[in-house]
Amino acid sequence: MKGSPKTLAEAIIAAHSKDGVTPGAICQVKVDFSFANDITGPPAAREFKKMGASRVFDSKRCAMILDHFAPNKDIASALQSKEAREFALEQEMFFWEVGRVGVEHAFLPEQGLALPGEIIIGADSHTCTYGALGALATGVGQTDLAAVWALGETWLRVPETIKVTFGGTPSKWIGGKDMIISLIGRIGVEGARYKSLEFHGEGVSALGMDDRFTMANMAIEAGGKCGLFPPDGKTLEYATARRARDFTALYPDEGAKYSSEVEIDASLIEPTVALPHLPGNAKPAKECSDIAIDQVFIGSCTNGRKSDIELAAEALRGKRVHERVRLMVIPASYEVYNEALDRGWIKIFTEAGASVCTPTCGPCMGGHLGILADGERCVSTSNRNFVGRMGHPKSEIILAGPLVAAASALTGRVTDPREVLG
């Protein structure tokens, strides 16, 4: 029904489609931006050519980002990057080389290539990150992406929407990571399966963009099709300052129909971790202080942004990493990396006994850098703690925000930051 009040997901799809937009309907939609990385790009390029396509629909709305196994760790990844590079240059699409790129889901918003009100399709499951900007962004397989590159269109099943309201104001110890893990702990890793999570409330309004990106990034960990923040002043300021093209912000209608509603008091959330082997295995960090660790990773498309790196650096200022812990810090982009240089954060990390690496996905998906051995345990600011995600199938990953991660690096065990930083 055309005149019915719409959720944000429905409003965005309606603005991009001529089809009727109701939950469950399949709609053909125009795509505003599309991309792949060094893993998904080569097979997408092959499928593109198999379809008989010769040119992408718009070279300024397609991109290839080398971030997963880059800088290349072996011959196989070098060949993979070469294939992706050659296709991108041939098509004259957006392409950034090692030394000038970043982790895709941090880098693309910085470049103003993900904007409010848009439909963004990426061959990576954490494409949902751009929902922080009020964009309907979702991941697809390589064949679907090849079709998008050829046609500039795709089809979407209109998702039902769960309205998530965070009331109250989170304390200074709480960030987007604690809030999203708390939510997934409540609804489960299938609680939003093929649904849109629409975030509202005073607790959300209090968050900066970096924390909103973190929350949208992990919508997929609850099974969500996307995680959407209705644009506010912070969103529009961020997007307007960086935009690579014009955009029109869209909003949910008053009276929109939600499949369910979840209310959480953000003022009551404590520093929270997700224990192995699911992002929904949520528990207060203070209840896990007996869990010894071997490694800490601060970075990824979830928590490698400016505020994450700043929080970790200030927590470590003048201190030393525990003697039995390896700390790896990977800024998610060169914008973040260069600010870390200018602000002295990198020196803080290295003086504390940490390694600092060039922007890359690296250890997050077990690609390279920081791979875990049999029996090792890592506190990670990434988004997944599945079996074998960062290396050996008998290793373990505990998900946390940057403050818990930094505090744990100091003590050699899972640590509530209030214990050592309060």
The reply to whether 156 falls in a domain is: yes
The reply to whether 132 falls in a domain is: yes
The pLDDT score that the predictor gives to residue 8 is: 98
* pLDDT more than 70, % of the chain: 100
Q: How many CB atoms lie within 10 A of CB 338?
A: 12
Over 80: is that where the pLDDT of 419 sits?
Answer: yes
Q: What's the pLDDT tens digit per position in 116-128?
A: 999 999 999 999 9
Over 60: is that where the pLDDT of 2 sits?
Answer: no
Residue 98 shares a structural domain with residue 196: yes
Rounded to whole angstroms, how far apart are CA atoms 18 and 225?
A: 21
Over 70: is that where the pLDDT of 1 sits?
Answer: no
Rounded to whole angstroms, how far apart are CA atoms 221 and 209?
A: 20
Q: How many CB atoms lie within 10 A of CB 235?
A: 20
Contacts of 48 (CB under 8 A, 6+ apart): 56, 87, 146, 149, 150
The reply to whether 3 falls in a domain is: no
Report the pLDDT averaged over residues 4-32: 96
Q: What share of the chain is helix, strand, coil (3-state, %, to 5)?
A: 40, 20, 40
Over 70: is that where the pLDDT of 15 sits?
Answer: yes
- Are 135 and 119 within 8 A, CB to CB? yes
Residue 217 shares a structural domain with residue 289: no
Residue 193 shares a structural domain with residue 309: no
The residue range of the domain holding 104 is 8-246+256-263
What domain count does the chain have? 2
CATH of the domain at 55: 3.30.499.10
**Element containing residue 186 per DSSP (H, E):** helix 176-187
Rounded to whole angstroms, how far apart are CA atoms 123 and 105?
A: 12
Pairing of strands 195-200, 260-265: unpaired
Residue 184 shares a structural domain with residue 291: no
Q: What's the pLDDT tens digit per position in 57-80?
A: 999 999 999 999 999 999 999 999
Give phi and psi for 138, each to the nearest 5: -150, 155
From first CA to last CA, the distance across the chain in angstroms is 54
Q: What's the pLDDT tens digit per position in 230-257?
A: 999 999 999 999 999 999 999 999 999 9
The pTM for the full model equals 0.95
Residue 223 shares a structural domain with residue 368: no
Q: What's the pLDDT tens digit per position in 358-387?
A: 999 989 988 889 999 999 999 999 999 999
Contacts of 337 (CB under 8 A, 6+ apart): 331, 346, 358, 359
Rounded to whole angstroms, how far apart are CA atoms 16 and 19?
A: 9
* pLDDT more than 90, % of the chain: 96
